[in-house]
Amino acid sequence: MWHWTMRTWTSPAKLRAKGIIGMNRRNIRYIGRYNKRRLYPLVDDKLKTKLLAQQYGITTPALIGTVATQFGVKQLREMLRGHDGFVIKPAKGSGGKGILVIEHVEEGVFVKPSGARLTLQDVERHASNILSGLYSLGGSPDVAVVEALINFDERLAEYTYEGVPDIRVIIFLGYPVMAMMRLSTAASDGKANLHQGAVGVGLDIATGTAIRGVQFDRTRLDHPDTGHELASLHIPDWQTLLLLAAGCYEMTGLGYLGTDVVLDRDHGPMLLELNARPGLAIQMANGEGLRRRLDLIEQQPRGVPPEERVAFAQHHFARRSELEGSPGSTAEAC
């Protein structure tokens, strides 16, 4: 993130003025101080995260099953029977690698959101590659996690392309600090990954409304594929979403945490995964650095209930939108 931040804000003095934190400060000042290494497996392993969330009553996509051995790959046909859509992902994957989304099944053919069609053998091969560690951190042997497909909230359909958008919320000592929505695009191949070309939309902590959009280091006022403007973007069930994200502090014990949440049509906000080393691009999407907010939270007493932490964040971190009334569809980031 550092190289494009330097290019965008042009000088260290401007970075400091914006309160931008870089990887060194994030790693030493926040992750090193507030995240105990023994707790990392709770979030680095998506299966452990899911099982832990179930214990704490935090909603996640339903677990269809797991594949832990090459012999188990041949059981996929039976496991998937009756499921019209599903997701297969590596338990220890990162950056969205190795995630296979099947939107529906037509007469034994598995159809991806892009319309690409796969055979059962293709799906089995993907699961086998996951087990071999092709997508896992360090290439270690892995487990394939099979989840029910998210029933995407159609109120957000015009803001994304061939993929389910997610909301990243940075949680510090249990307080929601900063949030953004990641919108998949044709450039990102339907994945909500900013480095691959997804649109990042900064969100007002107080209301869940869009305040700024970026793609490829440039401000963005609309979605590049659907053409829909971003100024009207508002996240449904925002209060519920913030409470869910804040509760992940008690669930994991990690002080500096990235929570990724999706919006399901039937179940509302659902926890997708957690990250003990969340990236810093969220600062670009919000046009503001994290440092001022983190400093303020460090001054607060410990042991505050989640509802009070959320209310504190909404009061102190509210922002006005930069999107409304802006001319044109794209412009250089300031």
- The per-residue pLDDT string of the chain (334 residues; one tens digit each, 9 = 90 and over) reads 444 444 444 577 777 778 999 999 999 999 999 999 999 999 999 999 999 999 999 999 999 999 999 999 999 999 999 999 999 999 998 777 899 999 999 999 999 988 999 999 999 999 999 999 999 878 899 999 999 999 888 888 899 988 889 999 999 999 999 999 999 998 887 778 888 899 999 999 999 999 999 999 899 999 999 999 999 999 999 999 999 999 999 999 999 999 999 999 999 999 999 999 999 999 999 999 999 999 999 999 999 999 999 999 999 999 999 997 544 444 333 3
Q: List Cβ neighbours of 119 (8 Å cut-off, separation of 6 or more).
A: 108, 109, 110
Report the alpha-carbon distance of residue 204 to residue 176 in Å, rounded.
Answer: 11
Instruction: Find how far residue 36's CA is from the centre of its chain.
Output: 22
Report the alpha-carbon distance of residue 323 to residue 153 in Å, rounded.
Answer: 23
Tell me if 147 sits within 8 A of 61, measured CB to CB: yes
The first and second tokens of residue 189, run together, are 């191949």
Degrees, nearest 5: CA angle 59-61-67 = 130
DSSP string for 76-114: HHHHHTT-SSEEEEETTB-TTTT-EEE-EEETTEEE-TT
Q: Is the dihedral of CA 34, 52, 314, 24 positive or negative?
A: positive
- How is residue 234 annotated by DSSP? B
Q: List Cβ neighbours of 199 (8 Å cut-off, separation of 6 or more).
A: 182, 183, 185, 213, 214, 215, 220, 223, 224, 230
Tell me if 300 sits within 8 A of 188, measured CB to CB: no
- How is residue 37 annotated by DSSP? G
Report the alpha-carbon distance of residue 300 to residue 305 in Å, rounded.
Answer: 12
Q: What is the pLDDT of residues 101-141, one digit of tens each?
A: 999 999 999 999 889 999 999 999 999 999 999 998 788 99
The first and second tokens of residue 104, run together, are 């529906």
- What angle do the packed helices 306-316 and 238-252 form, to 10 degrees? 120
Please, is 247 exposed, middle or buried when counting C-beta atoms within 10 Å of its C-beta (0-12, 13-18, 19+)?
A: buried
Tell me if 164 sits within 8 A of 96, measured CB to CB: no
Tokens 């091969």 belong to 125
Q: Is the pTM of this model over 0.85?
A: yes
- Residue among 278, 253, 279 nearest 41 (CA): 253
Q: What is the pLDDT of residues 13-47, one digit of tens each?
A: 777 778 999 999 999 999 999 999 999 999 999 99
DSSP 3-state assignment of 220?
strand
The first and second tokens of residue 94, run together, are 């990162």
DSSP 3-state assignment of 149?
coil
Q: State the DSSP H helix or E strand holding residue 128, giving kind and residue range, or none if neither.
A: helix 120-131
- CB count within 10 Å of CB 184 equals 27
